Each structure stands twice: as structure tokens, then as C-alpha cells.
Amino acid sequence: MPSELSFIPATVFRDGTPQRLNEEQEQLKREIYERMNPRRRKFVDRIGYDNWDPFQKPNDPLDVRLDVTKRTTQQLVREFLQLKAARNEQYGNDYGRGVLECALGIVNRDEKFQGITDFCLWYHDLLKKEGHILMKQRYDDIDEYIADLKMEIAANEQCATHHYNLGLALLSKRDFVGAEEALLNAVRNSPHLAEAYVQLGGICLERGDLEGCLRYNEEAAQCRAKFPVPWSNIAFVHLQRGEPDKAITALKKALKWDPDFVQAKNALTTAYYMQGDFEACEKLCKEILEKEPAFAPAWNNMALAQFDLGKYAEARQSAAKAAELGFEVPEGFLEELKAKGV
């Protein structure tokens, strides 16, 4: 039976908010109860008349619920996808559905999606900490890039990737002292970073330190034996020292790991020439030029080999091709060709 009190005990909204009815609502409630069919009235009696609320409010629909920023699900999704579009970033239907599901979960305070959000934030910080995320997608100003790298390093001095990238940026400005310091910091934090040793070797070469260049590239090769670049650089040092046999050994290792490494192939032609094997030099030059007809150094080396093989007319044509492609053919060699009447 209905209570005779002017205010009936509180019922509860579906959203958890307690509700008390005024006299007008109470009277209407009684009328609704009395007009109910027996089956429905039995249900109300089971839960208790005082606990029954015919004016119960449903949960707010998701599209009018707000997150902590006072945005609806639709607003969050629209703003996020508009940002993607502004950056000309493409995405598919599955991506869009994922965005919508996440927004719904966040606005609805779904614990599952709170876990997803927390993990994604943590993972983003991890990637940034370890240098896998660039500060910006593109820098038009190298000084801005360097400044940002230094800020990242100040926040995390153990990130070898940031030190390495700073070294490369400083090299682009020919700041060899600063670059060397950055690259040394990179290998201190990541002793097996082969690329950093290669760059340090290049800095040594810039100041004429062949021994330092050799040492750093040997370190790089030891860190990553299948990395062809340090083997090619090791060969370069041996060629500069007049040691073609050692150069050939190193170059064959470089070409084992990268058979299309054209600079290493051309260095091998130089080594063959230094050994006096002019036929091997010419043959390899032709192989290079079949794949890379615009590779001028190979034309120059072939001209040298052809000259020593007595093929003066061919040597003249090869030298002319090298010059045409921008290679500075030695003046003394051109004079020798003239002396042969070609």
C-alpha cells in the first residue's frame, strides 16, 4: 500500500543520484499504481512501493555525456580526425572505428579503455625516452633541430640515439669538434652503435688521421660484422697506405654483405689497378657501368686500366665520358693520352 507520508523515501536514478518526490509527484505515482494491471502491480510490490520510481531518469545517452574536458564523444572524434586530415595523414575505416571506440570508452569511464589509455601514454613516453620518436616530423631549420635535440638530451642523457642524431646534425654544419663529442657520448651510452663509430672514423679522416679512421671502422665492423660500410672504409685506409692486398680482403667482405655496393666495387677496381692487374680492373669497371652507366669514377678507372693495356683510343673515350659526367680527370693523364696521339 502507498505510504501516507508527504515525502516518500528516496529512490535512485539509474545514474546513482538519489531522488525524493514532492506531493504532486506522489499523487501522480499513486494514480499510476492504482491503474496498473495486476501483473505489473505485483512487480512493484515485489521491489517495494517505496523503492519504485515511475519518474526514473535513464542514463544520459552517450552522445550528450561529457569527458573531463567537457567534450562529447562526437566532439572528441571529430577534433582528432580533423587534426589527422590537416596533417594529410591517411587512415582507414578500422582506424576510425578504433578512435570512436576509444572515445566512447573514455567518455563512458569504461575501466577497460582507461587501461588502454594509460598504457598508450606510458608507451609513448617510453618510445620518446629511447629516441624512437622525433621531436617533429620535419625541421626546416637545422639550428632548431639541434636545439630540440639538446633539450631532449638534457631530459635524458642516456639516450644514445639523440646523441647520435646530434652528431649527424653538427656534421652537416661541419662542426667536427661538437659532432665528435656527441658521437662519443653516443657510443658511451650504446657501445655497440656501429654507425657512430663509422662517423667518428669519418671525422678522423677529415683531419688526416688515417690510424684513427681505421681504428673506429674496425670497431664498427666488430660491433656488426655484416655492416658493409666500415669494411669499405677500412679498405680505403689500406689503399691510402698503398696496401691493395689488405684492401681487397676488406672489400670482398663489404661486397659479401652488399653485392650492389657500387662504391666498394669501384674501390676494388682501384685495388686491382694498384696490384697491376689491369685486366681485372677493366672487367670490373665494365660490370659496374652495365648497372650504373652514370657512375663517373668507374669510367675514370677504366680509362687508366685501358691506357696501361695499350688501348689508347678506348682509354680516351672512357676519360672523356668520365669528364662529361663531372669527374675531374687528372690533367697529367690527359697529357699522356695526347702524347699517344689520341
Q: What is the pLDDT of residue 41?
A: 75
Do 53 and 68 have their domain in common? no
Is residue 5 scored above 70 in pLDDT?
A: no
Please tell me the distance from the alpha carbon of residue 56 to that of residue 54, in angstroms, as a whole number: 6
**Does residue 289 fall inside a structural domain?**
no
Specify the pTM.
Answer: 0.61
Do 66 and 49 have their domain in common? no
Is residue 3 scored above 80 in pLDDT?
A: no
**Does residue 291 fall inside a structural domain?**
no
Please tell me the distance from the alpha carbon of residue 212 to that of residue 298, in angstroms, as a whole number: 28
Please tell me the distance from the alpha carbon of residue 171 to that of residue 142, in angstroms, as a whole number: 11
**Does residue 293 fall inside a structural domain?**
no
Query: Can you tell me whether residue 19 is helix, strand or coil?
Result: strand
Cell numbers of 60, please? 544520459
Q: What is the DSSP pairing of strand 18-19 with strand 11-12? A: antiparallel
Do 28 and 12 have their domain in common? yes
**Does residue 228 fall inside a structural domain?**
no
Question: Which tops the pLDDT comparison, 140 or 267?
Answer: 267
Q: Which domain range does residue 71 map to?
A: 62-129
**Does residue 81 fall inside a structural domain?**
yes
* Number of structural domains in the chain: 2
Q: Are 213 and 205 in contact (CB under 8 A)?
A: yes
Is residue 65 scored above 60 in pLDDT?
A: yes
Do 90 and 42 have their domain in common? no
**Does residue 320 fall inside a structural domain?**
no
Please tell me the distance from the alpha carbon of residue 191 to that of residue 319, in angstroms, as a whole number: 45
Confidence of residue 129 (pLDDT cuts 50, 70, 90): low
**Does residue 148 fall inside a structural domain?**
no
pLDDT tens, position by position, 285-342: 999 999 999 999 999 999 999 999 999 999 999 999 999 999 999 999 999 999 988 8
Confidence of residue 1 (pLDDT cuts 50, 70, 90): very low
Q: Does residue 70 come out as left (phi exceeding 0), alpha (psi in the -120 to 50 range) or beta?
A: left
Report the alpha-carbon angle 284-288-290, nearest 5.
115
Do 50 and 87 have their domain in common? no
**83: nearest Cα among 70, 66, 99:** 99
Helix (H) or strand (E) holding 142: helix 142-155
**Does residue 183 fall inside a structural domain?**
no
pLDDT tens, position by position, 8-24: 333 333 344 445 677 77
In order of 98, 111, 120, the CA distances from 116 in angstroms are 12, 9, 6
